[in-house]
Amino acid sequence: MTNIIPRRRRIVRPLFWSDGLKRSTMEPSTAPGRMGCLLRRPAEKRMGGERRSERRSKMNRCVSMSRRGFLAFGGAAAAALATGSLTGCAPSMLQEGGSAEGSGGATSDVAVWAGGKVSATELEASAVEGEPIVDFVEELSFDVVVVGAGTAGLPAALAAHEAGASVAVLQKEASPVAQGMLAARVVKDRSTEAGMTAYLHELHELNAHRPRIDLLRAYVERSQEALEWYESKLAAAGFDACEESDSKDHVYADGNCYVQGLLFSDSMQAPTTALAEQAANDGVEFFYETPAVQLVTEGGSIVGVVGRTDDGEYKKFLASKGVVLATGDYQNNEAMVERYVPDAQDFGRKQINKTGDGHLMGLMAGAVMEPGSPSKMIHGGKGCFREEPFLALNLNGERFMYEDVPYGDRNTILRDQPEHRMVTLFDANYADQVYGWGSDPTVPTVANGTPEKIAAFVEDGTLLAADSIEELAQTVGLPVEATVASVRRYNELCAKGEDLDFGKASKYLRPVDTPPFYAMPREYAVSAILGGLLVNADGQCLNEEGEPIKGLYAAGNCSGPFYGRYDYSLSTMGLSVGRCITCGYLAGRAVAGA
């Protein structure tokens, strides 16, 4: 029995996982494959050929003049820079957001931007450029520019457009990118006022009292409207594959709050793509493969954003009403993960190319991060029985925890286990056990298993079945001897009715002794990091003083604090997507002045 495995200890690699074809337990990332090539591209490569190198050195001159100017000429130089009167130097975040510091220059690890809010390493891992961009191949004018064609960005663009604004969407990739499948909304018509307030209280308490209550209130009060609107937009786009799933009536002493789950196809990718096509038909202009790399500031306000084309040239997108940052999270920016959510560092990532570009651009322009460490969503892939506390073994075939840990929190225990992976073992009696524990295997989510689903999972290789524990261990790639010993010990504890090793509740102690035996391998990886720029309920980014920055909005995982618990709570399934759609919709309306 081992509880904590030292991180560098040699582990036995299971055969099951070493076969790439069989790694079907991971929820698929819906991002197109070509995006990976943008990861950690050196700055010079991102800039393109010789012409861009020249431009870079011009920009460097501009920046070094800024720094030297501040040192040598103090306030006079600062004033000259602020008015743009030094030839060729546009107003930049150096003046607007703080100062560039550091002994090694902008590319040094110790260099920081925006008064320390952004490091050079964080910038280098992103699409964002710190040095002021002054040469543009084109300048375009819109009322609103939305950065990111994802779960929150599309509703923001459509809502702003519907409110009469001319809208551009800058998208980093060649197509819209979104993930997830289930979205939750509060159905006011089926809830009482007291029940909705109690639910608001519950969400706040569940998140360690850390969310801004106005953000939660906006979700509770407006998510029905936002998701009904979203559905109507989807219907107009010819997409109606949406069914109710995982709804929950939260019942309190004084009332109830009905939270409805909506399942959009098998991924948010399909509705997001349909919505983007519809938006383009309606007149929203999309600029694909054009990551936003820098905000355009003027006198403390945000007046536009710079997009970098695929061949490394820059376009200036002016936004008379404002820019909405909806770039998702920063799970693929290691330096940001290390700074803000270090306990997620060692886990794999389910998304690619989410480098916190919106967060960084906002910080450079005077916005601030939500306080404290953000919530993280680290889950163990698809399959069956993810919540059910069946026997779990690590890759060494050893039991390592009381299995009645909520699924969403399990990553904390797996953090110190080999490769953050585990195998759940159960036997032919699974259905009786699951029913006996109060779970309902007929609930139509990927988390549960009817006998038909179990058979299908065995068929597609997600779940492994065998007639003996030895054979099962071999098939899944666990050390046979250790696995057999662990199962034997577990069955002894079940016979005693007491988990003397880890203290799991005795009602969950059921022996694994009746063939066929099943093994469900799980690899835990980061689905999302749920923390962003500090915003108010309209999605306006706030500065250090808590005041809105004119022209700057953020939505989705680029904004917060909506959560606060160390791990994303699954008490409301689909909260993240439901919240992203709602806050995108609200920010889009607000920026357009609706």
Is 292 one of the binding residues for ligand FAD (CB under 6 A)? Answer: yes
Is 411 one of the binding residues for ligand FAD (CB under 6 A)? Answer: no
Candidate ranges 83-91, 109-117, 474-482, 571-579; the one touching ligand FAD (CB under 6 A): 571-579
What is the rounded CA–CA span in Å between residue 531 and residue 340? 9
Residue 566 sits at the vertex; the CA angle it makes with 564 and 567, to the nearest 5 degrees, is 105
Is 180 one of the binding residues for ligand FAD (CB under 6 A)? Answer: yes
Q: Which helix (H) or strand (E) holds 489?
A: helix 480-496
Question: Pattern of binders to ligand FAD over 455-494, x per CB under 6 A?
Answer: ----------------------------------------
- For residue 13 the two structure tokens come to 């690699």
β strands within 405-492, DSSP E: 421-426, 464-466
Is 386 one of the binding residues for ligand FAD (CB under 6 A)? Answer: no
Q: What is the 3-state secondary structure (H, E, C) of 178-198?
A: CCCCEEEEEEHHHCCHHHHHH
β strands within 166-233, DSSP E: 167-170, 182-187
Is 378 one of the binding residues for ligand FAD (CB under 6 A)? Answer: no
Is 170 one of the binding residues for ligand FAD (CB under 6 A)? Answer: yes
Is 574 one of the binding residues for ligand FAD (CB under 6 A)? Answer: yes
Site for ligand FAD (CB under 6 A): which residue of 173, 289, 403, 427?
173
Least Å distance, CB 329 to ligand FAD, is 6
Candidate ranges 52-60, 412-420, 491-499, 572-580; the one touching ligand FAD (CB under 6 A): 572-580
- For residue 23 the two structure tokens come to 């790694």
* Residues from 114 through 143 that contact ligand FAD (CB under 6 A): 127
Candidate ranges 114-122, 146-154, 403-411, 476-484; the one touching ligand FAD (CB under 6 A): 146-154
Q: Are 544 and 368 in contact (CB under 8 A)?
A: yes
Least Å distance, CB 282 to ligand FAD, is 19
Q: Which of helix, strand or coil describes residue 518? A: strand
What is the rounded CA–CA span in Å between residue 217 and residue 229? 19
Candidate ranges 51-59, 76-84, 165-173, 434-442; the one touching ligand FAD (CB under 6 A): 165-173
What is the rounded CA–CA span in Å between residue 225 and residue 360? 31
Pick the closer one to ligand FAD by CB: 63 or 580: 580
Pick the closer one to ligand FAD by CB: 148 or 418: 148
What is the rounded CA–CA span in Å between residue 352 and residue 310? 18
Q: Which of helix, strand or coil describes residue 483? A: helix
What is the rounded CA–CA span in Å between residue 276 and residue 168? 12
What is the rounded CA–CA span in Å between residue 145 and residue 591? 10
* Residues comprising the chain, all counted: 594
Is 261 one of the binding residues for ligand FAD (CB under 6 A)? Answer: no
Pick the closer one to ligand FAD by CB: 89 or 237: 237
Site for ligand FAD (CB under 6 A): which residue of 153, 195, 418, 560?
153
Residue 154 sits at the vertex; the CA angle it makes with 150 and 155, to the nearest 5 degrees, is 125
Candidate ranges 45-53, 366-374, 465-473, 553-561; the one touching ligand FAD (CB under 6 A): 553-561
Q: How many residues bind ligand FAD (CB under 6 A)?
A: 40
Is 556 one of the binding residues for ligand FAD (CB under 6 A)? Answer: yes
Q: Are 300 and 549 in contact (CB under 8 A)?
A: yes
- What are the phi and psi torsion angles at 295 (to 5°)? -85, 150
Beta partners for residue 274, in sequence order? none
Candidate ranges 75-83, 144-152, 211-219, 422-430; the one touching ligand FAD (CB under 6 A): 144-152
Is 25 one of the binding residues for ligand FAD (CB under 6 A)? Answer: no
Q: Are 287 and 319 in contact (CB under 8 A)?
A: no
Site for ligand FAD (CB under 6 A): which residue of 25, 27, 250, 385?
27
Q: Are 543 and 549 in contact (CB under 8 A)?
A: yes
Is 150 one of the binding residues for ligand FAD (CB under 6 A)? Answer: yes
Task: Say how many Å lie between the first and final Cα of the chain, rounded.
Answer: 61
What is the rounded CA–CA span in Å between residue 154 and residue 161? 11
Site for ligand FAD (CB under 6 A): which residue of 198, 528, 535, 591?
528
Is 333 one of the binding residues for ligand FAD (CB under 6 A)? Answer: no
Is 179 one of the binding residues for ligand FAD (CB under 6 A)? Answer: yes
Least Å distance, CB 330 to ligand FAD, is 9
Which residue in the block uniquely carries the two structure tokens 């999605």?
539
Nearest residue relative to ligand FAD (C-beta)? 150
- For residue 227 the two structure tokens come to 């998701």
Pick the closer one to ligand FAD by CB: 191 or 332: 332
Is 177 one of the binding residues for ligand FAD (CB under 6 A)? Answer: yes
Which residue in the block uniquely carries the two structure tokens 């009292």?
209
Pick the closer one to ligand FAD by CB: 268 or 464: 268
Q: Are 327 and 64 in contact (CB under 8 A)?
A: no
Least Å distance, CB 356 to ligand FAD, is 8
Tell me which residues touch ligand FAD (CB under 6 A). 27, 127, 147-153, 170-173, 176-182, 268, 291-292, 326-328, 350-351, 357, 377, 527-528, 556-558, 574-577, 580
